[in-house]
Amino acid sequence: MQLKPAFTLKQIADLIHAGFSGDPDFLITGLNEIHMVQRGDLTFVDHPKYYAKALNSNATTIIINKEVECPEGKALLFHDDPFAAYVSLVKRFRPFEASQNMISPSAQIGEGTVIQPGTFIGNHVSIGKNCLIHANVSIYDHTVIGNNVIIQSGSVIGADAYYFQRKPEGYRKLESCGRAVIEDNVEIGAMCCIDKGVSGDTTISFGTKTDNHVQVGHDTYIGRHCLIGSHSAIAGVTRIEDDVILWGKVAVNKDLVIGKGAVILALAAVDKSLEGGKAYFGQPAVEARRAWRELAALRKLPEIIEKLR
């Protein structure tokens, strides 16, 4: 999430009651969790295992729970609970806004777009021209939808990221301040859920089509002209490149890349990044021809065992 206007290191330190290392006038231009950081962003780290990753990331300001040497060109904020400090900033700069109307007065809706009865459109939503939003769709705050988009009944666009930190007393929610972005000519089936980014964007690119009951996790990018079959589940921070096909009930783990033109056959479970231009099947997914050979060999096992008796 970008901060407009930017804040200084001293201003942020005062807001979260933190010590700091660096120029008090050092500018902070955005908030981002570690997977999405870019120059100017503030992020947080609260476990020694990830100190190096955060300190060496593109983030230029880091909230950390240990006083360490400040890397050159960056700034540090020292706080006993970086997670809670970060969440407090999210809540301050992107607070929850209760809605009083089914379609928020702050929503922008393009010419020729049809909104069917029972649809909820939240605050600061942007919807382009000639879209068709069917009954009982929920479009959360700050969602961006392009032109010529069709969304079938019951789908939810921009729900919170499924992102929690486990503590002895239970789970703490990492509040979401990102967006869901649906580009031109996309079609979303019925009862789909497209979660917003934790701090960046979840993007469904030009011309992609999803069947019913599809789940897309936070900060995931789905490329142009993809087909996503029914009951498929795509975890967060995954990148699916252009022209990929996921057939029914495909499960894709988090932080993976599926290359351009890959085809994932029905019921496959993807647990690692896959090259483009190939077909995959199985649990875990492997190249389809290999999977068929393995299944054929497996079917012969009873015969082989019988012969060995």
* The one catalytic residue among 134, 142, 213, 218: 218
As a dihedral over the C-alpha atoms of residue 234, residue 240, residue 244, residue 250, rounded to 10 degrees, the angle is: -20
Q: Which residues are registered as beta bridge partners of 159?
A: 195
Identify the H or E element spanning 8.
Answer: strand 2-8
Identify the H or E element spanning 306.
Answer: helix 288-308
C-beta neighbour count of 119 within 10 angstroms: 19
Instruction: Say if CB 144 and CB 180 are below 8 A apart.
Output: yes
Contacts for 73 with CB less than 8 Å, ≥ 6 apart: 60
Cα separation of 219 and 233, whole Å? 14
Extract the tokens encoding 179: 């967006």
As a dihedral over the C-alpha atoms of residue 28, residue 32, residue 38, residue 44, rounded to 10 degrees, the angle is: 80
Active-site annotation holds for 213: no
Contacts for 21 with CB less than 8 Å, ≥ 6 apart: 67, 70, 75, 76, 78
Catalytic residue positions?
218
